[in-house]
Amino acid sequence: MVVTNQTSSEAQAAPAPPAARAVDLVKTYGMGDAVVHALDGINVEFERGRFTAVMGPSGSGKSTLMHCMAGLDTPTSGHTFIGDEEIGLLDDAGLTQMRRDRIGFVFQSFNLVPTLTAGENITLPADLAGAKIDREWFEFLVGQLAIGDRLSHRPSEMSGGQQQRVACARALIRRPDLIFADEPTGNLDSNSSTEMLTFLRRSVTEFGQSIVMVTHDARGAAFADRVVFLADGQVVGEVYSPSAETVLDQMKRLSG
């Protein structure tokens, strides 16, 4: 694939400083016998201007990693950084500021406020921050994601794919440092899912957006510059410039 080749050559030429990193990250749930080590001392870096995929079996701690790194959840121990800023040192106001300005999210489902239209959902982060909306950027995103004719619709009046595209536009509207996407294509058919992944890929390539995406789909992971594999709360491997085959290979090796 043309896109993949192009990025891999760039990655080798000039490694970007990390957009986010985790140091000895531990997250445990429960106590005593029922204790679960969702994250068991993870050290990982997500490069700036790169598209990183996170893979691993169900329950391996992918979502937990994303939540801790994005400051949605507090780790049991360890440190997480967005750029140079340590998340653990921020108070609620600081975290809010961070989420407004530097982080974007796309979840598997329930991404949109049901009472707002698609257009209003997209501009919501800017509205919350009291910032002016970059109209050109807005129009561009809407055009790229082909949701121009859905802007006045409520989430309940849209298909799952359309909803995810709206969520995508919302994540990008403030041009955050980093976008976390937790199985953004999990509910989509293969066409919609390809469209969405292509768009994410392009936003990395063309606008230098940094993206971390959790996925179960090897084909989806192949859109990324790098795949990080988790198992039992630990990083167990990674693949640069992946293709569907290399990813599947790695997965087989890990489970085997």
Partner 1 sequence: MWKVTVKGLLAHKLRLVLTALAIVLGVTFVSGTLVLTDTLHNTFTTLFGHIYQNIDFEIRGKAAFADNGTGGAVRKPIPQSILANVRAVPGVAYAEGTAGGYAQFVSSTSKAISTGGAPTIGLSFDPNPQLSALQLAAGTAPKTPNQVVMDEGTARKYHFEVGQHVRILLAGPPQTFTIVGIVRFGTADNLAGATLAAFDLPTAQHLFGLTGRYNAIDVLARPGTAKAGLEHAIAKILPPGVEVVTGQTVANEQSSAINQALSFFSTALLVFAFISLFVGGFTIFNTFSIIVGQRTRELALLRVVGASRRQVFRSVLVEASIVGLVASLVGLGLGVLAAMGLEALLKGFGITLPSGPLVFETRTVVAAIAVGVGVTVVSAISPARRAVQIPPVAALGDHRGDQRESMRRRIYAGSIVALLGIAVLALGLTKPAIQLVGLGAVAVFIGAGMLAPVVARPMASVLGRPLAGILGISGKLGRENSMRSPRRTAQTSSALMVGLALVSTIAVFGASVSKSATSSVDNAVNADYIITNSGAGAAGFSGSVAAAAAHVPGVTAVSTVYNGTFEFRHSLKALTAVSPDHLSETVILRMDSGSGAPALAAGELLVDTTTANTDHLSVGSVVPVKFAETGSSTMRIGGIFKANALRGSFVAGDSFFLSNFNNPLPVAVLLRTDSGASKAGTAAVGGRLSAYANLKIQTRAEFENTQQMQVNQLLGLIYALLALAILIALIGIVNTLMLSVFERTHEIGLLRAIGMRRRQVRAMIRSEAVILSLFGAIVGVLIGTALGVAFASSLKQQGITDLVVPFASLVTFLAIAALLGLGAASWPARRAAKLDVLAAIAAE
Ligand X SMILES: Nc1ncnc2c1ncn2[C@@H]1O[C@H](COP(=O)(O)OP(=O)(O)OP(=O)(O)O)[C@@H](O)[C@H]1O
Q: Which residues bind partner 1 (CB under 8 A)?
A: 63, 67, 72-73, 92-93, 96, 99-101, 105, 107, 110-116, 120, 124-125, 127-129, 170, 174, 182
Identify which range of 29-37, 113-121, 153-161, 187-195 contacts ligand X by CB under 6 A: 29-37
Identify which range of 5-13, 56-64, 84-92, 120-128 contacts ligand X by CB under 6 A: 56-64
- Given the complex with ligand X, which of 64 and 164 has the nearer CB atom? 64
Strand, helix or coil at 55? strand
Applying CB under 5 A, among 7, 52, 63, 185 the residue interacting with Mg ion is 63
Write phi, then psi, for 18 (nearest 5 degrees).
-65, 140
Applying CB under 6 A, among 41, 59, 160, 237 the residue interacting with ligand X is 59
Angstrom CA distances, 165 to 51, 169, 239, stand at: 18, 6, 27
Q: How far is the CB of 107 from partner 1 (least distance, A)?
A: 6
- How far, in Å, CA of 226 to CA of 93, rounded? 33
Q: How far is the CB of 254 from partner 1 (least distance, A)?
A: 26
In Å, how far from its chain's centre is CA 115?
A: 25
Applying CB under 6 A, among 7, 44, 47, 63 the residue interacting with ligand X is 63
Among residues 223, 224, 198, the alpha carbon closest in space to that of 144 is found at 198
Applying CB under 6 A, among 2, 58, 89, 191 the residue interacting with ligand X is 58
Write phi, then psi, for 224 (nearest 5 degrees).
-85, 165
Angstrom CA distances, 208 to 84, 172, 233, stand at: 18, 12, 29
201 binds, among ligand X, Mg ion, partner 1, none (CB under 5 to 8 A by kind): none
Cα dihedral 183/186/189/194 (nearest 10): 10
Binding positions for ligand X, rule: CB under 6 A:
29-30, 36, 38, 56, 58-64
Binding positions for Mg ion, rule: CB under 5 A:
63
